[in-house]
Amino acid sequence: MKKRIVRIAVAAVLLAAGLVLHHLEYALPTLLVCVASYLLTGYRVLWKAGRNILHGKVFDENFLMSIATLGAFIVGEYPEAAAVMLFYQIGEMFEDMAVKRSRRSITELMNICPDTARRKTTDGSEIISPEDAAVGDVLLVAAGERIALDGTVLSGSAQIDTSALTGESVPRTVRQGDAVHSGCIDLDGTLEMRVDKPFTESTASKILELVENAAARKSRSENFITRFAAWYTPTVVVLAVLLAVVPPLVLHEPFGEWIYRALNFLVVSCPCALVISVPLSFFGGIGAASRTGILVKGSAYLEALCDASAIVMDKTGTLTEGVFEVTEIEPHGCDSAQLLRLAAGAEQFSSHPIAVSLRRACEDLPDDSQVTDVKAFAGKGVGAMVCGRNVLVGNETLLRENGVDCAHTDSIGTVVHVAADGIYAGRIVVSDRIKKDAPQTIRALRQSGLRTVMLSGDRRSAAEATAEALSLDAVHAELLPADKVTELEKILNEEKGRTVYVGDGINDAPVLARADVGVAMGALGSDAAIEAADVVLITDEIKKLVSVRSIAQRTMRIVRENIIFALAVKAAVLVSSALGLTGLWLAVFADVGVCVLAILNALRALKHNEK
Amino acid sequence: MRKVYLLEDLCCANCAAKIEKKVAALDGVDSASVNFLTTKLIIEADEAAAGDLDAAVRKIVRKVEPDVTVREIAK
């Protein structure tokens, strides 16, 4: 680097001398000084160009620069030839610096896997590479260290910083028995943890792999640029040849001037600014997203998120907490506690979320031995003998089928009817809570022009109540998993833009896969969801949807800026060169200068400030 | 089968794109992608093609960008 600067400085001094000599019209000394300056900065370019031609690779940057500058010597523009090579070298130096800087930012961002871990041994501990740790090994994590593998805390407690994975800045406390993920930093205490997953399957390395491989799923903009670059260079070179030959022959003018104009074309013909800045912007966007706890599996999805016109969401677990609570008890011929005891008793052995909520609400659960003859009626409810009474717990249909009459209700939430010994005993309403950040998220999404739709397997009244509370644009309820796909396909056909589907990734994998962009929520540690989705929100905060959309929009804006800026500058310089208005100087700027500016602009995509 | 190569001193984005295109066109290669920022070349290929792949990749890289050193990253 230092050598490079010295070389450039000496060449600049020589060039200045050359300019003075040129002004005084000493032809031969001018030529000698200019050649010296030129060789000092350009020898590597010339050498590479020669070597590459031997390799059968003709149209590269080095070759084009060599031809352009040697051409300038031939047409007698000595100081200009030297100046252009100098200017080109300065540009290249800035370009290298910009690339290095962006690589450093990205590496910092991806520095979530520590290089070492400390394994407990019989007589102390040893430092190992995380790859060598086996499942079941015991690791020691000291304050300030990053956790290398996914595992469970065996002893100790500590505050851990999960921000590298979740973007959440508030530390989390972990104690014995808690699961910890790799990539988190232990802030204060010492932890002893058991390794649960080998290195390659641990969260941090999975995230890294996803972000790195994101380059493979290319967006339309990226494909456009690669295709464009493939024909851009040959076209410009052909135009240069035509420009050098045709006008002089047709207009009977001297070749010198037109060859000089053609040389400009050669300098502008490198597509580097385009080829580098578009993927770099996308990578920056993906990096910014991963820092806020959002994994985007490819630039194609950032583009699609930006083009989205509808966002379809699952209800339970996505818009609502997915945790049911007893909200109303209406006993009929008994008291509330008795009704709850019968219902919770009958549901004693069920793991259904509603059963769990009934048990949680009941303060006086009957013993397991008091519940016998449990029968499940799929999709309707259960029946059991509870404390010697024949209890039925379920929906209206179940009770009617068993000859028990019950009043129809329009409560918000899920209604559980209870009958004891063939007589109606009352009803319990269980409902799900809307997530705290859901209303603001829906508002923001609607404001940004998205149609919001909810799909739910829940009862119509419950689904509609949620939709109304959140002021969603549309709701489709009482859907089986297969119906959700059909419903989504209808929306896909109706919408002009792309359709995003957001779910928890557990039972809606087919829907996630069918949507233009499938977003899985709260997927930390869930491999199935990470596999099925295109975008993964690591925490279950729905407001991250707003973040990812704004990152996508910002990234696309930067991509467009870069494409338009680079093309516009190149086109303008081509036209003005053809007309003889501008010289090689500006052509070099249109090559390396534009490249540096585009890289610096692309780096902005990395920065995303959570508002 | 997945193979990952580190392309040290890769400094030209256009060359990265060329390498990607040429490697992807090799027999038995399903997909190839060069990440310019991490300078990694990631290849998905048939098991059968594995033998010749290494030499073919090195040849392509040498031809497109002679200053780049190719190093395979063990998994």
Nearest chain B residue to A56, by CA:
B63
User: Measured between CA atoms, how close is B29 to chain A, in angstroms?
Assistant: 14
As given in the structure block, the two tokens for residue B63 are 């031809």
Residue A153 has pLDDT above 70, yes or no: yes
What sections of A388-506 are H helices per DSSP?
Answer: 396-401, 438-447, 460-469, 481-494
Report pLDDT for B74: 64
Contact B38 A106 (CB under 8 A): yes
Are A275 and B40 a contacting pair at CB < 8 A? Answer: no
Q: With contacts defined as CB-CB under 8 Å, which chain B residues touch A226?
A: 17, 21
* Of A43 and A2, the one with more pLDDT: A43
A555 pLDDT above the threshold of 90: yes
Mean pLDDT score of chain A = 84
Among the four given CATH numbers 3.40.190.10, 2.60.40.2470, 2.70.150.10, 3.40.50.300, the one describing domain A117-202? 2.70.150.10
Q: How confident is the model at residue A489 (pLDDT cuts 50, 70, 90)?
A: very high
Check CB contact of B66 with chain A, cutoff 8 Å: yes
Domain boundaries, chain B: 2-72
Question: pLDDT tens digits, residue range A62-71?
Answer: 887 888 888 8
Pair A297, A602: CB distance under 8 Å: no
Q: Is the pLDDT of residue A204 over 90?
A: no
> Across A246-403, where does the E strand assignment appear?
294-296, 308-314, 320-331, 371-377, 381-386, 389-394
Q: What is the pLDDT of residue A611?
A: 44
What does the angle CA B14 – CA B19 – CA B22 come to, to the nearest 5 degrees? 125
The lowest-confidence range among A184-198, A323-337, A472-486, A520-534 is A520-534
Whether the pLDDT of residue A520 is over 60: the answer is: yes
Half-sphere exposure of A179 (CA within 13 A, CB side): 9
DSSP code of residue B22: H
* Range(s) within chain A of domains with CATH label 2.70.150.10: 117-202
pLDDT digits (tens, 9 = 90+) for A338-370: 888 888 888 888 777 788 888 888 887 777 777
Is the pLDDT at A609 greater than 70, yes or no? no
pLDDT score for A215: 64
pLDDT > 70 fraction of chain A, expressed in percent and rounded: 96
A253 is written with which tokens?
A: 């003018």
Please indicate whether residue A314 is annotated as part of the active site. yes
Mean pLDDT in residue range A530-541: 84
Q: What is the pLDDT of residue A154?
A: 93
Average pLDDT score over residue span A145-150: 90
Q: Is this complex's ipTM strictly greater than 0.85? A: no
**pLDDT grade for A216, boundaries at 50, 70 and 90:** low
Task: Examine the pLDDT at A82 and tell me if it is beyond 90.
Answer: no
pLDDT tens digit sequence for A244-300:
888 888 888 888 788 888 888 888 877 777 777 888 888 888 888 888 888 888 888
Q: How many CB atoms lie within 10 A of CB A41?
A: 27
pLDDT surpassing 70 at residue A610:
no
Which chain A residues contact residue B42 at CB under 8 A?
212-213, 216
Q: Is residue B24 within 8 angstroms of chain A, CB to CB?
A: no
A109-143 pLDDT per residue, tens: 777 888 889 998 888 889 998 888 889 999 999 98
Give the model's confidence band at A8: pLDDT under 50 very low, under 70 low, under 90 confident, else very high.
confident
Q: What pLDDT, on a 0 to 100 scale, did the predictor assign at position A544?
A: 92
Query: Under 8 Å CB-to-CB from A433, ≥6 apart: which residues?
Result: A320, A321, A323, A325
Helical (H) or strand (E) element with A284 = helix A272-291
Task: Look up residue A307 and give its two tokens.
Answer: 């083009």
Q: With 80 as the cut, is the pLDDT of residue A560 above it? A: yes
Q: Which CATH architecture has domain B2-72?
A: 2-Layer Sandwich (3.30)
Of residues B36, B66, B75, nearest to A279 (C-beta): B36
Angle at CA A338, nearest 5°, toward A337 and A340? 65
Q: CB contacts < 8 Å between A and B, how many?
A: 56
Q: Which CATH architecture has domain A321-433?
A: 3-Layer(aba) Sandwich (3.40)
